[in-house]
Amino acid sequence: MEADRVGLKPFLLSLGALAGAEGVGNLAVASEILPPLPALGLTRIGQIGLFLLIFHIWGDGMRSLGLGPGQIRRGIRSGLIWSAVFGAVVLAGFGIIYVMGQNPFTLFRTRLPADEADRLLFLLLGALAAPVAEEIFFRGILYGRLRPLGIPAAVLISSAVFILAHPSAGLTQSVGGIVFALAYERAGWLMTPIVIHVLGNSAIFAASMMVGG
């Protein structure tokens, strides 16, 4: 795959862009320039733009992230297949949990904002902007940089960092990080884990709404 072509310079620049965008977003919230949700949304969108710009100028182009010409369409198709298989496995697990007398939806519940406008913004951020930004960094950049260490090490380390980046990480993030990395490794197209991540988060939010999240 092409995911082992992340050079040191674009990797370090990406780390700087990640930290810088987070700092600006936190400052905007602390200074009451922006509410938390809009600030987080703009932070994630800014990170996406900075990551792509860095690899366009200083990296080996979008192909080194699995986002080159022809890779996006195939990645979407691959992501839909992976999502269908993963979804079937999750549903089977839900069935087993339900038979055992528990409500499986409560295991993946996410607390949603009460205000309708905030809830819509939260859904757009969590189901679109955040998954794209996270997959570009954790899989495209971090995993790509670690892959020369070997696939097992790259999967475990990138997944561990992904889990640590989520303060309230649980089973969802733990399993998700590994699945996203394996999907990227197998397909070689970053749109594959992006699609899985987007659809997975959307399903979690839908489940949360069903149980009154």
Domain ranges for the chain: 63-210
Return the closest-CA partner of residue 26 out of 17, 16, 13, 35.
Answer: 35
Say which residues have a Cβ less than 8 Å from residue 198's Cβ, sequence separation at least 6.
Answer: 127, 128, 131, 132
Q: In terms of pLDDT, which residue wins out, 5 or 111?
A: 111
Q: Tell me the one-letter amino acid at 168.
A: S
The stretch 8-18 carries a mean pLDDT of 96
Residue 183: exposure state from Cβ atoms within 10 A (0-12, 13-18, ≥19): buried
Tell me if 192 sits within 8 A of 73, measured CB to CB.
Answer: no
The stretch 103-109 carries a mean pLDDT of 71
- Range scoring the smallest mean pLDDT among 107-111, 119-123, 147-151, 182-186: 107-111
User: What local confidence, expressed as pLDDT, does residue 9 receive?
Assistant: 94
Say which residues have a Cβ less than 8 Å from residue 59's Cβ, sequence separation at least 6.
Answer: 6, 7, 9, 10, 65
The stretch 194-208 carries a mean pLDDT of 91
Residue 15 has pLDDT above 90, yes or no: yes
Tell me if 179 sits within 8 A of 196, measured CB to CB.
Answer: yes
The tens digit of pLDDT for each residue in 160-181 reads 999 999 877 677 888 999 999 9
Tokens at 193, concatenated: 């884990």
Measured distance CA(145)–CA(58) in Å, rounded: 15
* pTM, 2 dp: 0.93
The tens digit of pLDDT for each residue in 69-100 reads 889 999 999 999 999 999 999 889 888 888 88
Measured distance CA(158)–CA(136) in Å, rounded: 12
